[in-house]
């Protein structure tokens, strides 16, 4: 049984690749000043990107390294260090404490969707659904992908908005879209 986003993405096919907003790169981009390699896992690539060091520390603290190194495929909306810095003072330190592992896991898995959704597929699904589309996260709550002002936004359960800064960072076990805000579940 296919989800609405999968049906729309398949129907849209390659034709929308030419109509993708300019924030989406055709080639596998660099993140944090280092190249990302399509033959490495999400964790292997993220571990080398200095702009994702807070995310990597959080993934380790939550015990998700093995999962995100697994076969997948996964689509990850990866917040940068600057995204984590936008959170209220002390939030990251509190989440990284062992006694808050469950809450940290909830936040991190809210950034992960099963399957591989490229920028073209996300854009096509949103366009085919009146400008926005919904994805179910691994955590269980929805994220909304919305097209606005020529940009792709990811909107969380609390109404927070993250802009996709770098899209289609291909991985051996999925794809990463780097975002500028930490997405928060309810």
- Work out the mean pLDDT of the chain and round it to a whole number: 86
Q: What is the Cα–Cα distance from 127 to 144, expressed in whole angstroms?
A: 13
The pTM score is 0.84
State percent of the chain over pLDDT 90: 78
Please give the pLDDT value at position 105: 97
Per-residue pLDDT tens for 124-170? 999 999 999 999 999 999 999 999 888 899 999 999 999 999 999 99
- What is the DSSP annotation of 22-46? TTS-SS--EETTEE--TTS-HHHHH
Per DSSP, the three-state class of 168 is strand
Burial class (CB in 10 A: 0-12, 13-18, 19+), 2: exposed
Beta strands in 21-136 (DSSP E): 30-31, 34-35, 74-79, 112-114, 132-136
Please give the pLDDT value at position 27: 64
Q: What is the Cα–Cα distance from 180 to 161, expressed in whole angstroms?
A: 9
Average of per-residue pLDDT across 62-67: 95
In this predicted structure, the answer to whether residue 22 has a pLDDT above a threshold of 50 is: no
Q: What is the Cα–Cα distance from 47 to 101, expressed in whole angstroms?
A: 20
Taking phi over 0 as left and psi of -120 to 50 as alpha, with beta for the rest, 63 belongs to left
Average of per-residue pLDDT across 66-85: 95
Average of per-residue pLDDT across 79-104: 96
Please give the pLDDT value at position 86: 96
Average of per-residue pLDDT across 29-55: 92
Burial class (CB in 10 A: 0-12, 13-18, 19+), 88: exposed
HSE value, Cβ hemisphere, 13 Å, CA-based, for 115: 12
Cβ-count burial 68-86 (b if 16+ within 10 Å, e if not): bbeebbbbbbbbbbebbee
State percent of the chain over pLDDT 70: 85
Angle (CA) 178-183-185 rounded to 5° is 150
Average of per-residue pLDDT across 176-184: 97
Please give the pLDDT value at position 151: 87
In this predicted structure, the answer to whether residue 17 has a pLDDT above a threshold of 80 is: no
In this predicted structure, the answer to whether residue 3 has a pLDDT above a threshold of 90 is: no
Average of per-residue pLDDT across 80-108: 96
């Amino acid at each position: 049984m296919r989800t609405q986003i999968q049906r729309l993405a398949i129907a849209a096919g390659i034709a929308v690749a030419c109509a993708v907003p300019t924030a989406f790169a055709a080639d596998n981009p660099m993140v944090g000043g280092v190249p990302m390699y399509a033959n490495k896992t999400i964790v292997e690539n993220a571990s080398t990107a200095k702009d994702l060091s807070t995310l990597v520390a959080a993934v380790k603290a939550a015990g998700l390294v093995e999962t995100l190194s697994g076969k997948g495929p996964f689509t990850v909306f990866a917040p940068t260090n600057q995204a984590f810095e936008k959170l209220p003072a002390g939030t990251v330190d509190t989440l990284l404490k062992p006694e808050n592992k469950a809450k940290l896991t909830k936040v991190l898995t809210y950034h992960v969707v099963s399957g591989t959704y490229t920028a073209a597929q996300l854009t096509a699904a949103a366009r085919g659904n009146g400008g926005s589309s919904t994805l179910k996260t691994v955590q269980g709550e929805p994220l909304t992908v919305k097209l606005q002002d020529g940009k792709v936004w990811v909107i969380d359960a609390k109404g927070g908005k993250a802009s996709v800064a770098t899209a289609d960072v291909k991985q051996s076990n999925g794809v990463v879209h780097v975002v500028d805000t930490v997405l928060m579940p309810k």
